[in-house]
């Protein structure tokens, strides 16, 4: 990952620190020599708002490209997560399914470093690389196959900062196109090179990427009240399955005047051998409220992330790689389509208890007073 931009204008000038480190591969594809590469990258970043992204992720418009990038790069989970130091629940007065779920979470806490180590975390930082590919939007959601990928994979990098589940910030650059998302404890928001600030309906929520093996404490707190619903084998590893179903009251708070979220389910797969999380998936069903004389259109998003390459950082087991596949279904009336986006990600750096990380690091953009409901909804693809 490249963190510095050389100063080609002044021989003795200082290098420029990049806001978001970029992969060497992304830079190499920008030109034939160092000067041309950096100039082309600078031009691409400055012109991202008008750049043609129709060849990226099989998108047909810049608006669709932005929606796909947000879908795979910066989705939120529907539930708020406590940031206290509980991490465990008493097993008495619980059903068998609930008590098994709490026992699995206890094993996960132990496998990731123990309650003492996790409770010592005040904040975190992570930097990594992504490789994203997309398929065509194709007919027939009943067909198990997905449209073939078009073009080469898009390469990019990201930086994450987190104080607690409601205080976080993400910067993601792919193909010179930048997405920024975050939460200041009051509202979750995002913006991109081509779209202004947009706030998400309802209370602030955590970024899904933290639950891909990056933040064990938040993951443990998320699944504290989950129910064990069975077992499954993931990559030759037998796993317990913990399930969370979002309450209707929460879904209503996140719905907008044009959309209704019908359900949002979260599943976690925990290895019986190691106790670690090896797969995280969620499914969301949304209905577009019908216009007079037209049928309702439904959007179903299924995202599953396999998590691997755990390494011990400061006494805590953190996943350093994985693969996320997001499948988007659109159906209802004459609509019956299916599309897939795949992200292969790796973590280059991760650290905890960063000195000097303050509330100012999580402030939304200056135009945050202009609210735009439903920023995260994938209905933008219509």
The SS3 of residue 311 is strand
- Cβ 306 vs Cβ 235: under 8 Å: yes
Compute, in degrees rounded to 10, the torsion defined by CA atoms 101, 106, 107, 113: 150
* Angstrom distance (rounded) from CA 82 to CA 85: 9
Q: What is the pLDDT of residues 158-188, one digit of tens each?
A: 999 999 888 999 999 887 778 889 998 888 8
Partners of residue 110 on adjacent β-strands: none
Tens digit of pLDDT for each residue in 299-353? 999 999 999 999 999 899 999 999 999 998 988 766 678 888 999 999 999 999 9
The pair of structure tokens assigned to 256 is 């907008």
Choice among 99-108, 132-141, 186-195, 248-257 with the minimum mean pLDDT: 132-141
C-alpha of 324 from chain center: 9
**Distance between CA 341 and CA 71 in Å, rounded?**
9
Q: CA-to-CA distance for 158 and 345, rounded, in angstroms? A: 10
pTM, entire model: 0.85
Do 312 and 106 form a contact (C-beta atoms < 8 A)?
Answer: no
Whether pLDDT at 135 is above 80:
no
Dihedral pair phi/psi, residue 115, rounded to 5°: -65, -40
Q: Who has greater pLDDT, 156 or 63? A: 156
Give the three-class secondary structure for 131. strand
Half-sphere exposure of 4 (CA within 13 A, CB side): 6
The Cα–Cα gap between 169 and 218 comes to 16
DSSP H or E run through 359:
none
Q: Is 19 helix (H, G, I), strand (E, B) or coil?
A: strand
* Model pLDDT, residue 380: 39
Q: How much is the pLDDT for 378?
A: 42
Mean pLDDT (the chain) is: 81
In tens, the pLDDT along 69-80 reads 888 888 999 988
Using the Cα atoms of residue 269, residue 270, residue 272 and residue 278 in order, give the sign of their dihedral: positive
């Amino acid at each position: 990952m490249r963190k510095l931009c050389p100063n080609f204008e002044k021989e003795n000038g200082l290098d420029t620190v990049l806001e978001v480190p970029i992969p060497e591969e992304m830079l190499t594809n920008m030109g034939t020599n160092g000067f041309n590469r950096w100039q082309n990258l600078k031009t691409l970043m400055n012109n991202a708002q008008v750049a043609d992204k129709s060849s990226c992720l099989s998108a047909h418009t810049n608006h669709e490209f932005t929606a796909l990038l947000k879908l795979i790069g910066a989705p939120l989970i529907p539930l708020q997560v406590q940031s206290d130091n509980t991490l465990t629940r008493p097993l008495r007065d619980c059903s068998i399914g609930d008590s098994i779920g709490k026992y699995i979470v206890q094993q996960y806490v132990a496998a990731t470093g123990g309650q003492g180590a996790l409770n010592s975390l005040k904040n975190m930082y992570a930097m990594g690389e992504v490789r994203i590919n997309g398929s065509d939007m194709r007919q027939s959601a009943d067909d198990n196959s997905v449209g073939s990928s078009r073009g080469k994979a898009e390469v990019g990098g990201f930086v994450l900062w987190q104080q607690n589940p409601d205080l976080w910030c993400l910067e993601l650059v792919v193909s010179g196109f930048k997405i920024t998302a975050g939460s200041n404890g009051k509202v979750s928001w995002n913006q991109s090179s081509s779209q202004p600030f947009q706030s998400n309906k309802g209370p602030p929520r955590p970024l899904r990427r933290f639950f891909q093996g990056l933040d064990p404490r938040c993951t443990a707190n998320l699944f504290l009240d989950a129910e064990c619903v069975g077992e499954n084998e993931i990559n030759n590893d037998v796993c317990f399955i913990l399930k969370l179903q979002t309450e209707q009251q929460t879904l209503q708070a996140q719905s907008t005047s044009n959309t209704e979220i019908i359900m949002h389910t979260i599943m976690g797969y925990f290895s019986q051998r190691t106790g670690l999380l090896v797969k995280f998936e969620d499914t969301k069903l949304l209905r577009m409220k019908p216009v007079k004389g037209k049928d309702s259109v439904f959007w179903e998003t299924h995202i599953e992330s396999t998590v691997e390459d755990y390494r011990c950082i400061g006494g805590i087991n953190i996943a350093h790689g994985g693969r996320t596949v997001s499948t988007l279904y659109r159906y209802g009336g004459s609509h019956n389509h299916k599309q897939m986006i795949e992200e292969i990600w790796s973590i280059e750096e991760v650290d905890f208890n960063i000195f000097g990380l303050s509330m100012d690091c999580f402030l939304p953009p200056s135009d945050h007073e202009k609210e735009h409901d439903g920023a995260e909804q994938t209905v933008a693809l219509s």
